[in-house]
A and B are shown apart, each in its own frame.
Chain A
Amino acid sequence: MDVFLSAFVAGGSTALALWFFQGLPDWSKALIVVAAMFLSGWVSYRRDYLPSLKVKRVAAAEMIETLILPALVARYRNANPGGYELRACVMKARSRPRIMGVIPRMILEARIEFSTSDFAPGEKEITWREGVPPISLQYGIVRSSLRRRAE
């Protein structure tokens, strides 16, 4: 049934295209073909690429939440015992450069956006700040938030 339906759709669309293209100037035909290719690519991107990217993001967030952050907090507490509060979070960059966002699954309390210009090239060393307000000192532009309690 699907084969007949596909053949019918393909034949019908070819006939429609031939009728539609009759008498049109070449440049408009080219424009229509390019637009159709763009539309097809966009639909494919939305259907195939975005869901797989979402799955990867959720999987990464899951691993960070359940494994890495708790393990880091536990290791840190072992290395530096004491009765202090300790929280851990990961904030991920968005696709646009310089503006940082967060991992969706990790949004619990707020989201923080900041600029990568806060980290100079080569500054892989961890920086630290003491006192208030550490967020505005270290993260730059603050808009909304995303914080995760690791314990």
Chain B
Amino acid sequence: MSAIQVELTKGLQSVLAAPIYRPNDKSLRHAVGVLALDSGSGIEATGFDKKGHHGMVGSSAALIGSFLP
């Protein structure tokens, strides 16, 4: 990582990320991007490990995948 990248990410404590796929990619082999939430707060505050939150981010990733050029 470069110095600026270290600087930008050093405060991150938790990350929740969902791969973005095209709607017709049933095999889920070709991610076209990633939707990520991150925070300087810990996982106990952000709740990134809760299953219900995973679904929320996953559905947004699916929506983005449907129109990403």
Q: Are A and B associated in one complex?
A: yes
The answer for the CA separation of A7 and B21 in the assembled complex, in Å, is: 51
Note all chain B residues with C-beta closer than 8 A to A126. 16-18, 54, 57-58
Note all chain B residues with C-beta closer than 8 A to A90. 20, 33-36, 64
The answer for the CA separation of A68 and B38 in the assembled complex, in Å, is: 16
* Chain A, range 96-145, C-beta contacts under 8 Å to B: 97, 100, 109-110, 112, 114, 116, 119, 121-136, 138-139, 142-145
Interchain CB contact (< 8 A) of A68 among B13, B49, B60: B60
**Interface SS of chain B:** mixed
A116→B56 contact, CB < 8 A: no
Note all chain B residues with C-beta closer than 8 A to A92. 20, 32-33, 68
Count B interface residues, CB 8 Å.
Answer: 53
Interchain CB contact (< 8 A) of A133 among B4, B9, B28, B29: B9
A133→B12 contact, CB < 8 A: yes
